Amino acid sequence: MKKIILIFFGFSVFSYAQDLKKETEKKQFPAEVQSQNLKEILEIKKFQKELNEEYKNEKESPLRGDNFKKFKEHPFFAINLDYCVKAKLVKTENAKPFEIPTSSGKTKKYIEYGKAYFKINGKEQVLTVFQSLSLLENPEYKDYLFLPFKDATSGTETYGGGRYLDLRIPKNDEIIIDFNKAYHPYCAYNAFDYNCPIVPEENRLKIPIEAGVKYDDIWFEH
C-alpha cells in the first residue's frame, strides 16, 4: 500500500511540474526565465508541503489537543513571483547586540545584520535583517538570517503579530527575499508554550504582502 501511495505522489509531483512547464511556455518567456520560474514555484510548493507536514507531526507541531487533531493544512495566498524580490543588502557596521521583546514579556538577544532595500510594484521598501545570538553559537546556523515583518494584511488575512522569513547570508550584496515563504510564528497558534520575537517598528510595511501563509479558521476541519 505504501509503495502505491509513493508512486502516486511521485506521479502527482511530476504531473504538476509538467503542467507548470506548459503554462510558462504559453507565456512565451525566454527559456532561461521559464526554467527559473518553474524552479522557484516548485521550491515554494515544497515549502508549503513541509510547513503542513511540520504541523501534522506531533513532535514538531506547536498545536495542542483538539487543535492538533483538527488541523488539515495551512491556507496560503496564491503563489505570486512578483513577491519574490532581489534586494540590495547593506551590512550594518559595528552593530551591537540588543534585546528584542517577545510575546511572553521576555526578551531574546539579536544583532542587526543589515538593511535590505527592494521594490514591490515599483515602490521602494526597506526591511532590517537580524541574526540570533543563540543561533550564532551553532555552526549549522552561522549564516542564518531572521526577517520578521508586518504588512497591511496583518490582523486581517494574516496573523496580527506579523510573519517571519528565514534567509541565509549571501555571497555578495544581493539577497533574494521570497515572501511566498513567509510563515507565522508559533505564537499565532499557541500563545502559552512559546515566546516569539515581536516585529520591530521599522519592519512594519504599509503595503499588503499578499504572499505566503494566511491566517483564518479554514486550516481547521469543522
Judge whether residue 6 has pLDDT over 80. no
Kindly report which listed range (62-66, 162-166, 167-171, 216-220) carries the lowest average pLDDT score: 216-220
pTM, full prediction: 0.83
- Which phi and psi angles does 171 have, rounded to 5°? -80, -20
The pLDDT tens digits of the residues spanning 7-42 come to: 333 434 445 445 544 444 444 445 555 677 899 999
pLDDT of residue 4: 39
Q: How remote is the C-alpha of 93 from its chain's centroid?
A: 26
The pLDDT tens digits of the residues spanning 61-100 come to: 999 999 999 999 999 999 999 999 999 999 999 999 999 9
The mean pLDDT of the chain is 86
Q: Report the percent of the chain where pLDDT is more than 70.
A: 82
Judge whether residue 110 has pLDDT over 50. yes
Kindly report which listed range (30-34, 109-113, 114-118, 191-195) carries the lowest average pLDDT score: 30-34
Q: Which residue has the cell 521550491?
A: 43
3-state helix, strand, coil in the chain (%, to 5): 35, 30, 35
Q: Which residue has the cell 521583546?
A: 101
Instruction: Give, to the nearest 10 degrees, the angle between helix 31-56 and helix 2-26.
Output: 140
Amino acid at 91: K
Measure the CA–CA gap between 43 and 123, rounded to whole angstroms: 26
Q: What is the DSSP string of 170-214?
A: -SSSEEEEEGGG-B--GGGT-TTT---BPPPGGGB-SS----SB-
